[in-house]
C-alpha cells in the first residue's frame, strides 16, 4: 500500500514537472533574457538568434526552453533621418526586431525598436501604433486583421501596463498615410468595445548596445492568454503579427505557425509512467539481487 502511494506520488510529481516545463512561462518585464535573447556579457548584444526566421520545421527554428520562437530582425544601421523603408527617420523610426512565441496557454510578443514609446503625435513626429494580429489558414495570408493589442498611449509609456485587446475588422484600423503600403497602424476604437485589459505589456529601455547601429532602443514585451482570442487559435493554422508607428515609416512583421498541441490526457501519462516506474524498480531489484549473488 505504501509502495503504491509512493508510485502515485512519483507519477503526480513527474506530471507536474513536465507540464510546467512545457508551459515555458515568460516573465513580462521588458527583459528578454527569458527568451534566450540579449544574454551576452559582452557588447554588442546578439539579437539574431540561431534558427531561421519564420521557420517551418523544428530543426530550423530558434528553440529556447521548449518554446519555438519566430522572429524578424531588420536593423537599420545608418545615421539620423535615413531611410528605414518605406519611409525615413533613421534610428528614431526603426522597427528593429519582433519575436513571437506560444506556450500552452499564452501568446507572447517582444518588439525592439529605436522609436521612443513617449513620442507624441505632433508636427513631423508620429506616435507608436498598436500590435495587429492577422489569423489565417491556407497557402498565403489573407488581408483581414481580426484582433489588435493596444499600446498604452499615456503621457509616460515606460512601465508595466494592462492594455486593451480588441476584436477588429480592417475598418477598425488606421492605415499607412504616406507610403501606399496599406499597412495598418493604430486601432480606431470609435464604436468598438474592448475585450478587456487582457494584455500585460512591459515597455522598457533596451540594453545599452544592441546590434551594430547607433542610438537607443526600447523593448515591448507582451503576454496575452490565447483564450482571449476565442477559438482563433483552434480555427487557424497561422498568425501574422505586425507593428509600426502611425506614419508607417518602418513596419515589422512576423509570420508564425500555430502549433497543434496534442496534449495526452492525464490517464495516458499515468499509464505510460506507471509501467516505466515498475520496470525501473524491477530492473533495479534484479540488478541488486545479481550483485548480491556475486558477493
Ligand atoms: Ca521577460
Ligand atoms: Ca537600428
Ligand atoms: Ca485574417
Structure confidence at residue 266 as a pLDDT band (50, 70, 90): low
pLDDT at residue 21 greater than cutoff 70: no
Identify the pLDDT of residue 280: 44
- CA 205–ligand 1 middle distance (angstroms): 13
- CA 223–ligand 2 middle distance (angstroms): 25
Identify the pLDDT of residue 45: 79
Q: Are 188 and 153 in contact (CB under 8 A)?
A: no
- Per-residue pLDDT of 43-102, as tens digits, reads 777 788 878 876 777 678 899 998 999 999 999 998 899 999 999 999 999 999 999 999
- CA 118–ligand 3 middle distance (angstroms): 30
- CA 199–ligand 1 middle distance (angstroms): 14
Identify the pLDDT of residue 276: 45
Structure confidence at residue 123 as a pLDDT band (50, 70, 90): very high
Q: If we measure between CA atoms, which residue out of 176, 149, 174 comes closest to residue 162?
A: 149
State what percent of residues in the chain have pLDDT above 90: 65
Q: Could you tell me whether strands 159-167 and 147-149 are parallel, antiparallel, or unpaired per DSSP bridges? A: antiparallel
Q: What is the mean pLDDT of the chain?
A: 84
Structure confidence at residue 214 as a pLDDT band (50, 70, 90): confident
- CA 181–ligand 1 middle distance (angstroms): 32
Identify the pLDDT of residue 49: 81
- CA 179–ligand 1 middle distance (angstroms): 34
Task: Pick the more confident residue, 286 or 29.
Answer: 29
Identify the pLDDT of residue 173: 98
Identify the pLDDT of residue 261: 55
Amino acid at each position: 500500500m505504501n509502495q503504491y502511494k509512493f508510485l502515485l506520488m512519483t507519477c503526480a510529481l513527474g506530471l507536474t514537472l513536465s507540464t510546467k516545463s512545457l508551459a515555458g512561462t515568460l516573465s513580462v518585464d521588458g527583459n528578454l533574457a527569458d527568451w534566450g535573447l540579449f544574454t551576452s556579457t559582452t557588447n554588442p548584444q546578439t539579437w539574431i538568434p540561431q534558427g531561421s526566421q519564420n521557420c517551418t520545421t523544428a530543426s530550423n527554428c530558434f528553440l529556447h526552453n521548449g518554446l519555438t520562437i519566430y522572429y524578424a530582425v531588420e536593423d537599420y544601421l545608418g545615421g539620423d533621418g535615413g531611410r528605414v523603408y518605406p519611409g525615413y527617420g533613421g534610428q528614431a523610426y526603426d522597427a528593429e526586431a519582433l519575436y513571437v512565441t506560444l506556450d500552452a496557454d499564452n501568446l507572447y510578443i517582444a518588439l525592439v525598436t529605436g522609436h521612443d514609446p513617449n513620442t507624441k503625435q505632433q508636427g513631423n513626429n508620429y506616435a507608436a501604433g498598436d500590435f495587429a494580429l492577422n489569423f489565417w489558414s491556407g497557402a498565403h495570408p489573407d488581408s483581414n486583421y481580426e484582433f489588435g493589442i493596444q499600446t498604452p498611449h499615456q503621457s509616460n509609456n515606460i512601465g508595466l501596463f494592462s492594455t486593451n485587446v480588441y476584436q477588429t475588422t480592417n475598418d477598425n484600423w488606421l492605415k499607412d498615410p504616406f507610403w501606399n503600403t496599406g499597412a495598418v497602424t493604430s486601432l480606431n476604437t470609435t464604436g468598438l468595445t474592448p475585450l478587456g485589459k487582457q494584455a500585460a505589456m512591459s515597455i522598457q529601455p533596451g540594453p545599452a548596445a544592441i546590434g551594430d547601429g547607433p542610438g537607443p532602443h526600447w523593448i515591448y514585451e507582451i503576454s496575452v492568454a490565447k483564450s482571449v482570442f476565442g477559438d482563433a487559435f483552434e480555427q487557424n493554422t497561422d498568425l501574422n503579427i505586425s507593428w509600426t508607428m502611425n506614419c508607417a515609416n518602418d513596419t515589422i512583421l512576423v509570420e508564425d505557425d500555430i502549433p497543434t498541441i496534442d496534449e495526452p490526457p492525464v490517464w495516458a501519462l499515468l499509464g505510460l509512467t506507471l509501467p516505466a516506474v515498475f520496470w525501473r524498480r524491477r530492473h533495479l531489484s534484479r540488478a541488486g539481487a545479481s550483485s548480491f549473488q556475486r558477493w
